[in-house]
Amino acid sequence: MILDQKGKLSVVQALTAGATDSQNVIQMAAVDYAGITDLWLTIDTNIVAGGAGTLVFDLVMSEESTLDTNTSIVQTSIAAVTDLRVATIGRHITTINVGKTIKEMLEASGSDTPFIGLISTLGGSATITIDAALSPTEPQTLHHKMVVVSPVGVPAIASPGSGE
């Protein structure tokens, strides 16, 4: 699907060996990027990686919705499925501010309506299910929320002579 604004590139997208385009690509007019300074790419683990092999996630810009001819904006490479970023549900595989980079790339390319999407390439027998999005604010993961917003209260301190 082609989105006309920032949003979800992949939602519970299962990936297997080979190259796979994101479920959605974003096509915004270049003028819509003019004031952007913050545009966060976030890729999260939805179902942990399995098998064995490498995982490469490449945010690209293209003149086609199929992303066949493209220019890499930013790439994250992971050498093994044991890396905690892909071995833990809710962890960020990557989160990076690409707003200024995209803006500069658009100015340099002269493109009026680029497509932006994610190409995931898994080597060997690796598998994973991901969520990915471009958003104007820095997102948090389930793991981060559990650490920052802990339901555990401050432990009580026993008073002297209470037997505790």
142-155 per-position pLDDT tens digit: 544 433 333 444 44
* Model pLDDT, residue 49: 92
Q: Which pLDDT belongs to residue 4?
A: 65
Length of the chain: 164
Helix (H) or strand (E) holding 129, with range, is: strand 127-135
Please say if the pLDDT value at position 7 is more than 90: no
Strand partners, 78: 55
* Dist. CA 128–CA 86, nearest whole Å: 8
pLDDT in tens, 69-120: 999 999 999 999 999 999 999 888 999 999 999 888 888 888 888 899 999 9
Rounded mean pLDDT of 36-46?
89
pLDDT of amino acid 95:
92
Q: Provide mean pLDDT across the span 21-37.
A: 84
Name residues whose C-beta falls within 8 Å of residue 71's C-beta, 6 or more positions apart in sequence.
60, 61, 62, 105, 109
Indicate the average pLDDT of the chain.
83
CA distance 107 to 77: 27
What are the structural domains, with CATH classification, of the chain?
2-148 (2.60.120.1110)
